[in-house]
Amino acid sequence: MDQVALQRPFSLKSRLQDYVQLTKFKLASLVVFSAAMGFMTAPGDVNWQQLLVLVVGGFLVTGASNGINQVMEKEYDKKMSRTQMRPLPDQRLSIFEASAISIVSGVTGVLMLGYGINMYAGLLGLFALLSYTLVYTPLKSKTPFCVFVGAVPGAIPPLLGYVAATGHFDVTAWVLFAIQFLWQFPHFWAIAWVLDDDYKKAGFIMLPTGQRDKGSALQAFIYTISLFPVGFMPYLYHISGLLSAIVIAITTAYFTYCAYSLYKNQSVEMARKLMFASFIYLPVVQLIIMLNKI
């Protein structure tokens, strides 16, 4: 099959588009945004040169994670409507090419973070890459616990960004980590609810109970509620001010309302609203915390 991919006419534009899909450019950009917010939240003046290294290195590591994920899930992606036209299942890229691009990107990104910023940034990038590809990805077809496992590397970006700027771990670093860690549960379960039929074609178990039911909706609701006390921590630990606390509380209330609506109605429409609310929640919270230092 891989030979078919190599025999297709080469076009630089189409190949670049395939690489964009392989790295999941939009998703990688959101991950890097979280890392940049963590970096800029750190006290002191922003080191723009290091921020650039963080953005490029972070994108390379994230893109590598996404690429290796697609290599490992090629056969699964063939079965799902939303993924069957990706470069690997559609045979536009070979396993060798995708693997080579991903490995080179991952190694380069980790080295950039480690040598261009500090050792902790490099180690966090390496941990995120390995735990996402070697632990989270294989678990997706075996247990809904995979979401909990995946939430760990998924919450590293703001932690990595903050530690990249400061060179140490402190309360602020772990508060940023905790917010993104808890946010991921309602976020991913909303996506899993919307895409449940497609996931089942590949045998992926993403919802906490394994299906669209009151139990899955209840767990999403509980995690959004847990964001209230965690969202208050930036104010409690003097990371941000009262205005930030109010904005975070209002944003969390809306997020929780959407989760409660899913619990009450258990419909795909409500899950989609929760999914979009999650897209709003995280950047708003991270931006308001970061802007507090200005």
Structural Rg of the chain based on CA atoms: 19
Q: What is the pLDDT of residues 159-203, one digit of tens each?
A: 999 999 999 999 999 999 999 999 999 999 999 999 999 999 998
> Is the domain of 158 the same as that of 136?
yes
* The total number of residues written for the chain in this structure: 294
Q: Nearest CA to 121 among 161, 150, 180?
A: 161
- Please indicate, yes or no, whether the overall pTM of this predicted structure exceeds 0.85: yes
Helix (H) or strand (E) holding 142: none
Looking at the predicted structure, is the pLDDT value of residue 7 above 70?
no
> Is the domain of 48 the same as that of 94?
yes
Query: Residue 3: which pLDDT band, with cuts at 50, 70 and 90?
Result: very low
Helix (H) or strand (E) holding 144: none
Residue where a domain stops, chosen among 169, 204, 232: 169
Q: What is the pLDDT of residues 251-288, one digit of tens each?
A: 999 999 999 999 999 999 999 999 999 999 999 999 99
> Is the domain of 164 the same as that of 179?
no
Residue where a domain stops, chosen among 140, 169, 198: 169
Q: How far is CA 122 from the centre of its chain?
A: 18
C-alpha span between 133 and 57 (Å, rounded): 18
Quote the mean pLDDT of the chain: 94
Q: Which domain holds residue 194?
A: 175-294
C-alpha span between 105 and 68 (Å, rounded): 10
> Is the domain of 33 the same as that of 162?
yes
Residue where a domain stops, chosen among 142, 169, 196: 169
> Is the domain of 248 the same as that of 276?
yes
Q: What is the pLDDT of residues 23-39, one digit of tens each?
A: 999 999 999 999 999 99
Rounded to 10 degrees, the C-alpha dihedral 67/73/75/80 comes to: -100
